[in-house]
Amino acid sequence: MAWSLGDVRIDGQVVLGPMSGFTSSAYRSFMTPFGASLCFTEMVSDMGVLHGMGNTRPFLESDPASPTAIQLFGSNPDSLAEAASAALKENPHAIAIDVNMGCPVEKVLRNGCGCALMRDPGLCGRIIEKVKESVDVPVTAKIRLGWSMEELTFPQVVEELQSAGVDCITVHPRTRADGYSGSPRTDLVAGLGDTMSVPLIISGNIFSRQDAALALETTGADAVMIARGGVGNPFLLTMIDRYLRYGEILDYPSVAQQMEWCERLSRMIVNEKGEELGMRILRAITPKFLSGCRYCRDYRLRLATFEGGIEDLAALLERISSKMGEQHICCHAPRYPDGRNGERRPIDRRSIVNTVN
């Protein structure tokens, strides 16, 4: 289960991915006990670190108990290197620097950042070289398949990154043109991890233990990154972690348990952000704790439009628990290529999808 990020030992194959507006320090601290062996901050601009530290500082914070990599974006090797050094001075608890080379958002792309970097594999390598010269922690990169299906540059980018001394690569197997739509093309990176000299983290549409196992099996990756799938479903990390470690198949949690976790996270976010901002953020998170719950649509709507304070929210969560607490959230198992549905029983990591329970 353990793998290495440079000289840093990572004890687990479940990684919490960066999500703008979600993965604050409080969110990462909440998710870590569920099984996140490594967390990534929200994406931070190199210019924000160098020239706007007052506004950027909260994005760099982390709990020492949550192993965290700071994710930066930019397009200039020198400024990224300088920002990486400054970020580590601000947060000496961070265990790595990650460079985003895969963001498909237009406001990032227009400055030549994010996935735009994948149009110049050589520049990707030069960025990693410069950043590694400026810091004494592992340096990683997050990439996509390329700009479009007609411009798949990930093989060249991976080669350049490894030649530059990158310590780990995360691959989201979609293109810039795909955004977050459609299914990830893990088939295009089949066996990639077996050909690499550094660890591979695979990302994209991990919403169940079956998704995680299949992604690892297909790509030969060392770890799987959970992002949207864990929002409102923190126990997903536990389910995947225990499945990969021990072959355990855990049941989905009850609504009562979900509401308890929801209140815990809500209080942590309000403590971090203040009640006004915290409650606005929570409107995007709390309804997801009821995803997969039958007859909970009205409650989800109430949470998404909730206007009260944290104690009012806690009272609503208690009412939901008292009404619906014995129900369990659920997630449909994926349909396999041969048309079957069901669970997969692991034998070992490399044959984990060969047996159906």
Q: Average per-residue pLDDT in the chain?
A: 91
Note whether 26 and 61 are within 8 A (CB).
Answer: no
Phi first, then psi: give them for residue 38, nearest 5 degrees. -155, 140
Residue 327 pLDDT:
87
Average pLDDT over residues 320-349: 56
Note whether 313 and 286 are within 8 A (CB).
Answer: yes
pLDDT tens column, 73-86: 999 999 999 999 99
Cα separation, 115 vs 218, whole angstroms: 23
Name the residue with higher pLDDT: 292 or 165.
165
Average pLDDT over residues 39-51: 95
Residue 344 pLDDT:
35
Q: Catalytic one among 103, 113, 293, 296?
A: 103
Residue 353 pLDDT:
33
Please, is 117 exposed, middle or buried when counting C-beta atoms within 10 Å of its C-beta (0-12, 13-18, 19+)?
A: buried
Residue 331 pLDDT:
62
Cα separation, 292 vs 57, whole angstroms: 36
- CA distances 115 to 34, 145, 176, Å, are 30, 9, 6
Per-residue pLDDT band for 345 (boundaries 50, 70, 90) equals very low
Q: Any idea which residue has 């965290």 for tokens? A: 68
pLDDT tens column, 274-318: 999 999 999 999 999 999 888 899 999 999 999 999 999 999 999
Residue 328 pLDDT:
87
Phi first, then psi: give them for residue 328, nearest 5 degrees. -115, 140
pTM: 0.90
Residue 52 pLDDT:
80
pLDDT tens column, 192-242: 999 999 999 999 999 999 999 999 999 999 999 999 999 999 999 999 999
Per-residue pLDDT band for 330 (boundaries 50, 70, 90) equals confident
Q: Does the annotation mark 103 as catalytic?
A: yes
